[in-house]
């Protein structure tokens, strides 16, 4: 019983995450063109037709801009909340709606819990995926968090979460003040420090893997994000921390299968 998490790419130019179980293959978000999606799936020996459905976290183009493409090109159903579906102009015949905190069952062995998160101009949700008694959280595009999010994410075996910017690089960078203010606001994005603080709240002994996502190409660096986050969690987390960049897929996490996880760690080390 294995749940595999593979980021096809994360960042301002497109986001999509593949979740695989023995009976389901789904994408969380689809911010790529059809050509890019097909190319990235091919690196995993998959075709778009292999995808059972696409689940969208919110309507911003880098997360949902390619949702209508999978409907028109491959007749893939899309799951989203009503506002997101309307904003994206999705085909109603290939769209299923969910409400926040309603369990969404996909196939025989995968469920998703959509959890509201603060983000500007959207009804954004994080997802907690459950399979075989283990859980993985996919959290992106949020400027802060809620007690509700902490409750549902605490103790997940895997956590993918944005670590968007280094505060000092953003403040001293070229962005206009209005944009800096939006990014750092409650409806914006998480800084490396905020991500570390959140992870310190939700990591437990059960948490084995973490992926930092959606790093700003102008206001962050992988080594800065990693070292900042580890500062907050080094005493409570001893698992595998990786960073997903824009040009994926680069690696996979295997939840529930010790053999595959060890093999993946050895491959990374070599």
Could you report the per-residue pLDDT of 209-268, keeping only the tens digit for each? 999 999 999 999 999 999 999 999 999 999 999 999 999 999 999 998 655 544 544 554
Sheet holding 134-139, edge to edge: 104-106, 110-116, 125-131, 134-139, 158-162, 209-213, 240-243
pLDDT above 90 covers what percent of the chain? 91
Helices then strands, counting H and E runs in the chain, come out as 10, 14
Q: What is the mean pLDDT of residues 119-129?
A: 90
For β-strands 104-106 and 95-97, DSSP reports them as unpaired
Q: What is the mean pLDDT of residues 195-205?
A: 97
Is the pLDDT at 54 greater than 80, yes or no? yes
Is the pLDDT at 270 greater than 90, yes or no? no
Is the pLDDT at 35 greater than 80, yes or no? yes
Q: What is the mean pLDDT of residues 194-203?
A: 98
Reduce the DSSP state of residue 202 to 3 states and report it. Answer: helix
- Residue 41 backbone phi and psi in degrees, to 5: -65, -35
Instruction: Calculate the average pLDDT of the chain.
Output: 94
249: preceding bond cis by omega (within 30 degrees): yes
Q: What local confidence, expressed as pLDDT, does residue 117 receive?
A: 95
Torsion sign, CA atoms 255, 222, 28, 196: positive
Torsion sign, CA atoms 140, 141, 142, 146: negative
Q: What local confidence, expressed as pLDDT, does residue 1 receive?
A: 75
Q: Could you tell me if 149 and 117 are in contact, meaning their C-beta atoms sit under 8 angstroms apart? A: yes
Is the pLDDT at 122 greater than 90, yes or no? no
Kindly list the structural domains of the chain, giving each domain's residue range(s) and its CATH number in brackets, ordered by start: 3-269 (3.60.15.10)
Residues 6+ apart with CB under 8 A from 211: 5, 7, 158, 159, 160, 161, 241, 242, 243, 244, 253
């Amino acid at each position: 019983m294995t749940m595999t998490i593979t980021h096809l790419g994360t960042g301002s130019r497109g986001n999509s995450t593949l979740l695989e179980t023995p009976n389901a293959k789904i994408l969380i978000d689809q911010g790529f063109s059809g050509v890019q999606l097909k190319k990235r799936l091919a690196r995993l020996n998959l075709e778009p037709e292999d995808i059972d459905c696409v689940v969208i976290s919110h309507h911003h183009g880098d997360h949902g801009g390619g949702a209508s493409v999978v409907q028109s090109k491959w007749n893939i159903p899309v799951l989203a909340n009503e506002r997101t579906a309307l904003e994206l102009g999705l085909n109603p015949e290939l769209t299923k709606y969910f409400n926040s905190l309603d369990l969404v069952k996909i196939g025989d062995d995968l469920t998703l819990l959509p959890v509201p998160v603060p983000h500007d101009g959207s009804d954004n949700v994080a997802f907690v995926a459950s399979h075989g008694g283990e859980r993985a959280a996919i959290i992106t595009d949020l400027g802060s968090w809620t007690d509700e999010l902490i409750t549902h994410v605490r103790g997940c075996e895997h956590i993918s979460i944005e670590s968007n910017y280094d505060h000092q690089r953003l403040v001293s960078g070229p962005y206009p003040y209005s944009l800096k203010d939006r990014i750092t606001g409650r409806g914006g994005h998480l800084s490396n420090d905020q991500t570390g603080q959140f992870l310190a709240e939700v990591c437990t002994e059960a948490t084995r893997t973490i992926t930092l996502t959606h790093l700003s190409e102008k206001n962050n660096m992988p080594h800065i994000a990693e070292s900042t986050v580890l500062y907050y969690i080094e005493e409570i987390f001893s698992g595998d921390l990786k960073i997903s960049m824009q040009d994926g897929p680069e690696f996979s996490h295997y939840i529930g299968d010790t053999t595959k996880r060890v093999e993946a760690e050895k491959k990374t080390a070599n």
